[in-house]
Structure 1
Amino acid sequence: MNDVEAAIKTAIQTEKNAMNFYQIGAEQMKDPEAKRLFEQLAKEEKEHAAQFYREYHGNDIPSFDGFMATPPEYASVWVGSIRKLIGDDFTEERALELAMERESNLESTLRQTASKLTDDAVRAVFERNADETRNHYLTIESEYARIMKMVHESDIDIFVRE
């Protein structure tokens, strides 16, 4: 397997881990809006994995749907970190903080990988996913502000003028 194929395969697995993170987190959520957000992010992570899968030419993942349906990789940073929160310590606030951290790290990794790729089509997939990951971060940050009852970014101008 060449370096590009290895990078793509790693990206597919990472996006699956992120999907599982949001699925597990959504199951724990009591706040309906936070739950809805995690469910939506899980769907989008699956879409990201599909974008990478379309660029993958290896033969060790014969079925995308079959691969995505496999059990979560509990040892992964994504899944392991959300599982540590489950129990008495789980709060939407902590889950959202963790999600922002994970998304920020993923964006950085995607951009670093993209900068090293010479295949324009594959690099574009990594860059597009980095941009979408940044959007995830911003969406989670907004939900975090709501949960924490912080001034929402849409109210900043009003707040500053008063």
Structure 2
Amino acid sequence: MSLASSPLLRVLATTALIVALPGCNNAPVDGPAQAALDALVASCTRHLAAREPVVRPGTAAEWTKTGYSPAQVQGEVKPTGSPVTPYVGKIVIKDNEARATAPSEAAAQAVTLTPAHLLSNRTHTFIYSFDGKQWAWQNGQRLTKIPGHSDATEPLTRADVDGTGPQGFAPCLPR
């Protein structure tokens, strides 16, 4: 099989062209691709809005409470011009992670997380392809900004984000 006939390489090349040419293909997308991504964004938003802080044992004689700010979730669909993958999509999730410690579980439960407890600002970016019928996960990454530290970017696989708890993003993934 030649490189030019590989569907994955065509998707990647088309995605690279879309990203490299801002202003091109900015016409609004309507139809099944947009409706399906809108549904995915709505599911993702509901899941993230329902997150509750979690209290867990920490280091010696400490308990940790971790919570997340309400997330900003934005979706975008771009046409590719390819008959194999007519659209690519992206969901960007921005939220904050806060953490506080206390000497007991009850004390940790009682903590009200505030901006003073900010641990990090996070941006999750998920990329999808649409084959004309449904969206498929392609890849993802998380950018974490921790005050006083260097920014960190890590690639995410579908398995990394397929959890349902407060740290998971399963409702943000096509099924």
TM-score, normalising length: structure 1: 0.29
Bigger proportion of residues as strand: 2
Relative contact order (C-alpha < 8 Å, sep 6+): which is higher? Answer: 1
Bigger proportion of residues as helix: 1
Higher Rg = 2
